[in-house]
C-alpha cells in the first residue's frame, strides 16, 4: 500500500478527532484573517479620507477636533472664522485651491455640510468627484446627498426635504428644530467613496447663511474652517507655520495625513491586543493538535509495528504523521479562506450601510498569505514531537504491546 493509501485509512479510522482538530484550526485562522482584513480596510479608509487636502485650517483649538469636523463631519465647532479670511488667503500664489466648510445642521441624524464646489472638483477623495445623478449644489435650495444617505433614506432626485438645526436624532427634536424657512430639493447624489462623504448631505455655502440669518446684515459670514490644496507640496510646512502665526485671527492648521496617522497609532494599540489574542487562540489549537497526535501514539503502536513489518521504513511512518498534520492544516486554511471571503461577500455592503465601516476586500493579500504560511510552518513544528517519538519506537516494542 502506498503512503497515500496508509494516510487515507489512518484518517478514516480517527475521523472524529481529526474533524475536531481541523475545526479548531479553522476557527483560529478565521479570526486571524478577519482581523487582518479589517485592519487593511481601516488603513485604506484612512488613506482615502484625506483626498487632495494638503492643509486643514480652523479656529485655534484641538487638532483632533478639527480633523473630525473637517474630514469626518463629526462634532460641533466651538468657534468660527470669518469667511473673508479664506478669500484673503486665496490670493496667495502657493495655494491652488481653497474651499470653506460649515456644519451644525442635520437631516434625520445625518450631518449637513455647507461646502464650496472646489472641494469636490479638486480635493475630495477620488477628485474630481462628480454626482452619479444630477449636479453639485448651484443654488441655496439645492442639496447633494452622499451615497449611503441616499440609499438608507431612499432619497431620489427632486425630493424635497427640510433640514434640522443641530444634530437632533429623534423625530420629536427634529420636528421642533426644523428649518422650515427653506425647502431643499435633492439635485444630486454622490457615488460611493468608502469614506465619510457617503454619510452626509451637502448644501451651497449661501444656504447656511440663510438658515442662520440673525437679521444682522452687517455681520460677516462665518465658516468652521477651510481646506487647502497647494501648487507645490514642499510649501506645506512653511504655509502651515505662517497660518498659525497669524495674529488677527488665531488659527490651527493641520496636515490631515499626519494627524490621521497619529490617530491611527492610537487605534493600532487595540488592534495589537486583538491580534495577540487571535494568535493565542491559534497556538492553543496547535497545542491541542500536538496533544491529540501524541495521545494517539499509544493506540497506534500496533498499527505502526504492522506497517514496519510490512516493510515501511521509519522515515515513511514519520512522514505519515507529518502528512496528517499538513492535511489538517491545509483543509483548515482553505475552508477558512473560503468562509472569510464568503462572509465578506455577504455582509460587507450591509455592514458599511449600517455602520459606515470601510468595505473589506476579497481575495488574499501578501500579509494574509504570510499568516497562512506561518500557520502551516507552526503546525509542522507541533507535529515534530510525535514524529520523533514514532521514529524511535522499535518494532519489537510495538508487537509486544
* pLDDT exceeds cutoff 70 at 31: yes
C-alpha cell at 241: 507655520
Q: Where are the alpha helices (DSSP H) in 155-313?
A: 171-176, 205-211, 236-244, 256-299, 301-309
C-alpha cell at 283: 497556538
Task: Give the span between the Cα atoms of 167 and 172, in whole angstroms.
Answer: 12
CA-nearest of 70, 75, 74 to 50 is 70
Q: How confident is the model at residue 335 (pLDDT cuts 50, 70, 90)?
A: very high
Please check whether residue 155 is in contact with residue 146, taking contact to mean a CB–CB distance below 8 angstroms.
no
Per DSSP bridges, beta strands 81-82 and 222-223 are antiparallel
State pLDDT tens for residues 374-391.
878 877 777 776 666 666
State pLDDT tens for residues 286-326.
776 666 666 666 666 666 666 666 666 666 766 777 777 78
- pLDDT at residue 215, rounded to an integer: 45
Does the pTM of the predicted model rise above 0.85? no
C-alpha cell at 46: 484612512
Concatenated DSSP letters for 288-324?
HHHHHHHHHHHHTHHHHHHHHHTT--HHHHHHHHHHH
Q: What percent of the chain has pLDDT over 70?
A: 76
State pLDDT tens for residues 171-184.
444 455 666 678 89
223: β partners: 81
Task: Give the span between the Cα atoms of 32 and 344, in whole angstroms.
Answer: 14
Longest C-alpha distance within the chain, in Å?
106
3-state helix, strand, coil in the chain (%, to 5): 60, 15, 25
Q: How confident is the model at residue 359 (pLDDT cuts 50, 70, 90)?
A: low
- pLDDT at residue 32, rounded to an integer: 84
Task: Give the span between the Cα atoms of 51 and 72, in whole angstroms.
Answer: 12
- Counting every residue written for the chain, the total comes to 401
CA-nearest of 114, 100, 75 to 227 is 100
Q: Is 150 exposed, middle or buried (0-12, 13-18, 19+ CB in 10 A)?
A: buried
Amino acid at each position: 500500500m502506498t503512503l497515500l493509501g496508509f494516510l487515507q485509512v489512518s484518517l478514516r479510522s480517527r475521523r472524529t478527532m481529526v474533524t475536531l482538530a481541523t475545526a479548531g484550526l479553522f476557527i483560529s485562522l478565521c479570526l486571524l484573517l478577519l482581523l487582518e482584513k479589517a485592519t487593511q480596510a481601516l488603513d485604506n479608509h484612512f488613506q482615502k479620507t484625506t483626498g487632495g487636502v494638503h492643509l486643514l485650517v480652523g479656529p485655534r483649538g484641538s487638532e483632533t477636533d478639527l480633523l473630525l469636523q473637517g474630514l469626518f463631519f463629526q462634532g460641533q465647532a466651538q468657534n468660527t472664522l470669518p469667511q473673508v479670511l479664506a478669500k484673503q488667503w486665496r490670493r496667495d500664489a502657493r495655494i491652488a485651491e481653497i474651499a470653506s466648510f460649515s456644519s451644525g445642521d442635520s437631516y434625520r441624524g445625518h450631518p449637513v455640510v455647507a461646502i464650496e464646489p472646489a472641494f469636490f472638483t479638486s480635493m475630495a477623495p477620488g477628485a474630481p468627484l462628480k454626482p452619479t445623478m444630477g449636479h453639485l449644489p448651484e443654488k441655496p435650495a439645492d442639496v447633494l446627498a452622499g451615497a449611503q444617505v441616499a440609499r438608507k433614506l431612499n432619497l431620489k432626485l427632486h425630493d424635497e426635504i427640510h433640514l434640522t438645526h443641530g444634530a437632533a436624532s429623534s423625530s420629536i427634536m427634529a420636528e421642533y428644530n426644523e428649518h422650515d424657512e427653506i425647502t431643499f430639493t435633492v439635485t444630486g447624489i454622490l457615488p460611493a467613496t468608502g469614506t465619510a462623504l457617503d454619510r452626509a448631505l451637502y448644501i451651497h455655502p449661501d444656504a447656511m447663511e440663510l438658515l442662520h440669518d440673525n437679521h444682522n446684515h452687517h455681520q460677516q459670514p462665518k465658516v468652521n474652517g477651510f481646506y487647502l490644496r497647494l501648487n507645490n507640496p514642499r510649501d506645506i510646512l512653511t504655509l502651515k507655520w505662517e497660518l498659525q502665526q497669524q495674529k488677527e485671527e488665531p488659527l490651527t492648521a493641520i496636515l490631515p495625513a499626519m494627524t490621521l496617522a497619529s490617530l491611527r497609532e492610537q487605534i493600532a494599540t487595540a488592534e495589537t491586543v486583538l491580534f495577540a489574542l487571535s494568535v493565542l487562540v491559534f497556538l492553543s489549537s496547535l497545542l491541542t493538535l500536538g496533544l491529540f497526535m501524541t495521545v494517539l501514539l499509544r493506540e497506534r503502536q500496533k498499527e505502526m509495528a504492522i506497517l514496519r513489518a510490512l516493510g515501511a521504513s521509519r522515515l515513511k511512518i514519520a512522514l505519515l504523521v507529518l502528512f496528517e498534520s499538513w492535511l489538517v492544516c491545509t483543509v483548515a486554511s482553505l475552508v477558512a479562506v473560503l468562509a472569510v471571503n464568503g462572509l465578506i461577500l455577504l455582509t460587507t455592503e450591509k455592514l458599511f450601510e449600517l455602520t459606515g465601516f470601510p468595505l473589506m476586500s476579497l481575495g488574499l493579500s501578501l500579509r494574509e498569505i504570510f499568516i497562512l504560511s506561518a500557520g502551516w510552518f507552526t503546525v509542522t513544528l507541533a507535529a515534530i514531537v510525535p514524529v520523533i517519538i514514532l521514529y524511535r519506537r522499535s518494532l519489537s516494542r510495538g508487537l509486544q504491546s
